[in-house]
């Protein structure tokens, strides 16, 4: 069960009144299928209220005081693209807690719930002295008001893989010709499809691995758990990626889809960076839109 709790770390105490949050979110959404309403549960001083986003309750609580270390430390350590994250977080002075009120129980409600929390957090961030945002399901962290831009991208149809998913990279044994190999595990997909991804070491750069796993993340969050055990995830040019279901991967007790990249000797000799990209699995189903609607 996931509530997709998101923390907004602030450089100074501040709050956003309920009406302003609703106005900003509805303006941001435009014609997209997101509509914010009041549940009439505000505490009166604007420090706590519950918004209703297309029937889903999202609680908002403003807290004076630094976000506790245990809420952001792992996220800051994992984010290699923001080396100053820990230093920034230590100097925050207040935070906001944004969370889904009810449990998500399947793929459709998970996507709808995570989307509702992110668009609310994004609308709030527009008016706050933002230092960072932290997404607890993935231990993802992003700098400044990045979640505002992610919310806009989400409304336009792209899931925020930079926040909803994080990666743990690892290395493997070199190829017979000495070429180094890299692999990675995802954090964050479990809440959407009941499993994480683990790409076993392959002769790929970490940036290329991140690109491929981000593309597969987008596909799985949009379409649900469509990968089957033993199924090729991608067959492109001279490489093939096979999916294997495992009760756990590098993370103990976390169901995992192990991805094994099979590369022919000809493909291995290609110029680095010129190799094919991972294709997402085909499905006959129409893709699901957020809030359970389908896109024709």
Domain ranges of the chain: 6-162, 166-268
Taking Cα atoms as reference points, which of 194, 195, 165 lies closest to residue 105? Answer: 194
Question: pLDDT tens, 197-241?
Answer: 999 999 999 999 999 999 999 999 999 999 999 989 876 667 889
Instruction: Please tell me the distance from the alpha carbon of residue 143 to that of residue 82, in angstroms, as a whole number.
Output: 8
Determine the pLDDT at residue 290. Answer: 39
Helix/strand/coil for 11: coil
Q: What mean pLDDT is reported for the chain?
A: 87
Question: Which pair of structure tokens corresponds to residue 135?
Answer: 């997404």
The count of C-alpha atoms lying within 13 angstroms of the C-alpha of 134, restricted to the half-sphere facing its C-beta, is 27
Length of the chain as a residue count: 296
User: What is the pLDDT at residue 285?
Assistant: 44
pTM for the model: 0.86
**Residue entry with tokens 């990279």:** 169
pLDDT(2) > 80: no
**pLDDT of amino acid 63:** 97
Cα–Cα distance for residue pair 206/212, rounded to 1 Å: 10
**pLDDT by residue (tens digit) across 57-103?**
999 999 999 999 999 999 999 998 999 999 999 999 999 999 999 88
Residues 244, 233: Cα–Cα separation, whole Å: 10
Tens-digit pLDDT profile for residues 157-202: 899 998 999 999 999 999 999 999 999 999 999 999 999 999 999 9
Pair of tokens at residue 193 = 């499809």
């Amino acid at each position: 069960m996931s509530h997709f709790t998101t923390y907004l770390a602030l450089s100074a105490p501040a709050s956003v009144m309920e009406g302003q949050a609703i106005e900003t979110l509805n303006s941001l959404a435009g014609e997209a299928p997101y509509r914010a309403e009041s549940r009439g549960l505000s505490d009166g001083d604007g420090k706590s209220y519950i918004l209703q986003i297309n029937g889903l309750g999202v609680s908002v609580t403003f807290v004076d005081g630094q976000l506790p270390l245990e809420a952001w430390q792992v996220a800051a350590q994992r984010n290699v693209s923001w080396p100053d994250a820990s230093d920034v977080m230590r100097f925050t002075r207040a935070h906001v807690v944004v969370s889904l009120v009810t449990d998500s129980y399947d793929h459709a409600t998970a996507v709808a719930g995570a989307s509702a929390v992110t668009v609310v957090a994004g609308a709030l961030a527009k008016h706050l002295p933002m230092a960072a945002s932290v997404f607890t399901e993935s231990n993802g962290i992003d700098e400044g008001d990045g979640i505002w831009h992610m919310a806009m991208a989400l409304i336009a149809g792209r899931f925020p893989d930079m926040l909803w998913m994080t990666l743990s990279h690892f290395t493997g044994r070199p190829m017979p010709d000495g070429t180094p190999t890299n692999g990675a595990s995802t954090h964050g997909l479990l809440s959407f499809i009941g499993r994480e991804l683990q790409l076993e070491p392959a002769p790929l750069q970490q940036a290329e691995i991140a690109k491929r796993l981000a593309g597969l993340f987008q596909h799985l969050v949009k379409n649900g758990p469509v990968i089957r055990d033993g199924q090729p995830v991608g067959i492109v040019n001279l490489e093939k990626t096979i999916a294997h279901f495992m009760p756990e991967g590098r993370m103990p007790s976390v169901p995992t889809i192990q991805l094994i990249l099979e590369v022919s000797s000809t493909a291995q000799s290609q110029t680095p960076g010129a190799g094919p990209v991972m294709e997402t699995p085909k499905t006959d189903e129409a893709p699901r839109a957020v809030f359970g609607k389908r896109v024709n």
